Amino acid sequence: MPADRNIPVGVFDSGVGGLSVLRAIRVRLPGVPLIYLGDQANVPYGPRSQQEVQGFSESITRFLLAQGAGMIVVACNTASAASLKYLRNKFAGIPFVGMEPAVKPAAELTRSGLVGVLATPATFQGALYASVVERFAQGVTILQDTCPGLVHQIETGELESLATRDILEKALLPMLARGIDTVVLGCTHYPFVIPLISKIVGPNVRVIDPAPAVARQVENLYASLLPEQRLESKTASVNYYTTGSSELMQSLLKQLLGDQGEVMELPWNHGEL
């Protein structure tokens, strides 16, 4: 059976952040076709209301299912915080994998007892984050920062610029002064600036990108829910969609993943795709 006959997995984010998750999924499930949608017409989701993000997430999920996806990865902490529960109720029977800030591994690994978390305002305000902190961060001090503007810098491909460094230094230097030894990347855009983060925090601070753990979860769920699928190691296709400019997404795809893939433009039409 050709690899592309496998049931596709749909992956979405407000923009290109979810590509950090897609990259990890491709490592674990190279034979599974992926459909990626970046809602670049509406990025950033971080400052938006829960209802608004739920509306976007619902329409995007409907589109991905219509394209044949058998499982949905909400590759966005903000969309997961706002709508994972909502989507599971709305689309009963469809398996979803979402993101939550990796506070649990950070709390287990920290020796100084101080952990920095970088995420969007909506992620910090959501019930999912509060519950993760309550369950796993007992006895650990969590320092938070929303890194205003950082998602925009990554969406414009500015991974190393002075302005990007400035945003990260503003967030991280006060945390370093307090003694953090672990940083959690609670936004899927941020793994693309790990080289810069590492330069700022130095070699003694661990930076946690949750993408590999989420990809493992996707692999397990895919295998248990769709056991009839044959997971050949042959690389399957990825179909990329953006609600914004395909040219911009295509150049970011090349810059961030080294992927020359075609991107299809999918404009919003009265709240539907």
Q: Which residues are catalytic?
A: 76, 187
Q: How far is the CB of 75 from ligand DGL (least distance, A)?
A: 7
Cα–Cα dist 155/226, whole Å: 34
Residue 189 near ligand DGL by CB under 6 A: yes
Cα–Cα dist 12/77, whole Å: 11
Binding span for ligand DGL by CB under 6 A among 27-35, 70-78, 161-169, 223-231? 70-78
Query: Out of 118, 187, 248, 252, which residue is the one contacting ligand DGL (CB under 6 A)?
Result: 187
Nearest-CA neighbor of 56 among 87, 34, 93, 77? 87
Contact 116, 231 (CB under 8 A): no
What token pair was written down for 137?
Answer: 């961060």
Query: 61-94 as b/e, with b when 16 or more CB fall inside 10 Å?
Result: bebbbeeebbbbbbbbbbbbbbbbebbeeeeeeb
Please give the torsion angle defined by the CA atoms of residues 253, 117, 56 and 155, in that order, rounded to the nearest 10 degrees: -30
Query: Out of 8, 10, 31, 46, which residue is the one contacting ligand DGL (CB under 6 A)?
Result: 46
Q: Is the dihedral of CA 41, 43, 48, 49 positive or negative?
A: positive
Q: Which helix (H) or strand (E) holds 11?
A: strand 9-13
Query: Out of 6, 8, 12, 13, which residue is the one contacting ligand DGL (CB under 6 A)?
Result: 13
Q: How far is the CB of 228 from ligand DGL (least distance, A)?
A: 32
Residue 188 near ligand DGL by CB under 6 A: yes
Total count of residues recorded for the chain: 273
Cα–Cα dist 114/112, whole Å: 5
Q: How far is the CB of 22 from ligand DGL (least distance, A)?
A: 12
Query: Out of 10, 17, 70, 101, which residue is the one contacting ligand DGL (CB under 6 A)?
Result: 17
Closer of 8 and 44 to ligand DGL (Cβ): 44
- In single-letter form, the type of residue at position 228 comes to E
Residue 57 near ligand DGL by CB under 6 A: no
Q: How far is the CB of 179 from ligand DGL (least distance, A)?
A: 26
No. of helices (H) and no. of strands (E), the chain: 11, 10
Binding span for ligand DGL by CB under 6 A among 22-30, 38-46, 159-167, 233-241? 38-46
Q: How far is the CB of 93 from ligand DGL (least distance, A)?
A: 26
Residue 229 near ligand DGL by CB under 6 A: no
Binding pattern to ligand DGL, positions 144-173, x when CB under 6 A?
-------x----------------------
> What is the total count of residues that contact ligand DGL (CB under 6 A)?
16
Residues binding ligand DGL (CB under 6 A): 13-14, 17, 43-46, 76-78, 120, 123, 151, 187-189
